[in-house]
Amino acid sequence: MVEGKIFGVVALKGGVGKTTVCANLGTALAIEFDKKVLIIDANFSTPHLGLHVGIVNPEHSLHKIIEDEYSVFEGIYEHALGFHIIPGMLAPEGLDYNKLKEKIEPLKEYYDYILVDSSPSLNQEMAATMSASDEVLVVSSPDYPTLSSTLHAIKIAKEQGTDIRGIILNKVRKKRFELNPKDISEASDVKVLASIPDEIKVQAALAKMIPIVSFSPTNEVSHIYKKLAADLIGEKYRRSLFGRKKKKKVKEEKDEKE
């Protein structure tokens, strides 16, 4: 039995990269660190997590679990990339979002990490993700409007009493006109955990519905995601020029010695 941790991936702004972060962290944790990972699409109004990982029209969807149509276990898909996923489909109005927590909390026994993708709107969907999470990761980008939304999201998390693990700064172009990680961490009083470059390959990967961590493992963005995953779980990541480490082999050698 494991005692897993639930990370909510949030932002009060559309399109900053929440879903991309979920898909890539999920993939990195599963394939690079051999963790049991579940990613959940709790963006009930624009559920697109499946589309980032090759699931187009799932039969099962989180909202049906919340509506007690079937158990949470029946709604889980095993993905070829090693993680498990509960995808989402457009949810009907009046769904009781508050049940999200009671539905996913028991899964902590089975997974090391659960990542919850959330809605960008300031509504009950977002509140449900925050209260279901042990810690939130706030996705941001280096401009004033997004900083403003980030400050707002952090304020709400604090009001709800949800721990904030840190900010993931996405779509960074390293331009002089951009806000830098220091500006953002000073303004928010929250640590910037990673700066992810704006990288066309992220979109190329989306077009293939494969997270970039798997689509292009040696891309700088993939290294940064893997380093971030390592930091989140207190492990070390050493980048190799050849992509994925031969973890299994190392483990076999270790087992042999024992």
Ligand X SMILES: Nc1ncnc2c1ncn2[C@@H]1O[C@H](COP(=O)(O)OP(=O)(O)OP(=O)(O)O)[C@@H](O)[C@H]1O
Three-class secondary structure assignment of the chain: CCCCEEEEEECCCCCCCHHHHHHHHHHHHHHHCCCCEEEEEECCCCCCHHHHCCCCCCCCCHHHHHCCCCCHHHHCEECCCCCEEECCCCCCCCCCCCHHHHHHHHHHHCCCEEEEEECCCCCHHHHHHHHHCCEEEEEECCCHHHHHHHHHHHHHHHHHCCEEEEEEEEEECCCCCCCCHHHHHHHHCCCEEEEEECCHHHHHHHHCCCCHHHHCCCCHHHHHHHHHHHHHHCCCCCCCCCCCCCHHHHHHHHHHHC
Site for ligand X contains 199 (CB under 6 A): yes
Site for ligand X contains 170 (CB under 6 A): yes
Site for another protein contains 239 (CB under 8 A): yes
Site for another protein contains 179 (CB under 8 A): yes
129 or 195, CB closer to another protein? 195
Which entry of ligand X, Mg ion, another protein, none binds 170, CB below 5 to 8 A by partner kind? ligand X
Of 13-21, 80-88, 99-107, 174-182, the segment contacting Mg ion by CB under 5 A is: 13-21
Q: Which of residues 217-256 bind Mg ion (CB under 5 A)?
A: none
Q: What are phi and psi of 245, to 5 degrees?
A: -70, 155
Count of residues in contact with another protein, rule CB under 8 A: 20
Which entry of ligand X, another protein, Mg ion, none binds 235, CB below 5 to 8 A by partner kind? none
Site for ligand X contains 171 (CB under 6 A): yes
Site for ligand X contains 120 (CB under 6 A): yes
Least distance in angstroms from the C-beta of 201 to ligand X: 8
Give dist(CA 230, CA 34) in Å, integer.
11
Q: In which region does residue 184 sit, left (phi positive, over 0), alpha (psi from -120 to 50) or beta (all else)?
A: alpha
Site for ligand X contains 166 (CB under 6 A): no
88 or 108, CB closer to ligand X? 88
Least distance in angstroms from the C-beta of 76 to ligand X: 21
Site for Mg ion contains 19 (CB under 5 A): yes
Instruction: Measure CA of the first residue to CA of the last residue in the chain; give whole Å.
Output: 24
Which entry of another protein, ligand X, Mg ion, none binds 4, CB below 5 to 8 A by partner kind? none
Least distance in angstroms from the C-beta of 218 to another protein: 8
**147, 157, 164, 202: residue in contact with another protein (rule CB under 8 A):** 147
Find out whether 105 and 65 touch, Cβ atoms under 8 Å. no
Give dist(CA 57, CA 14) in Å, integer.
22
Site for ligand X contains 54 (CB under 6 A): no
Contacts with ligand X, residue ranges (CB under 6 A): 11, 14-20, 43, 46, 48, 120, 170-171, 196, 198-199, 202-203, 206, 221
Contacts with another protein, residue ranges (CB under 8 A): 144, 147-148, 151-152, 155, 174, 176, 179-183, 186-187, 195, 218, 220, 239, 241
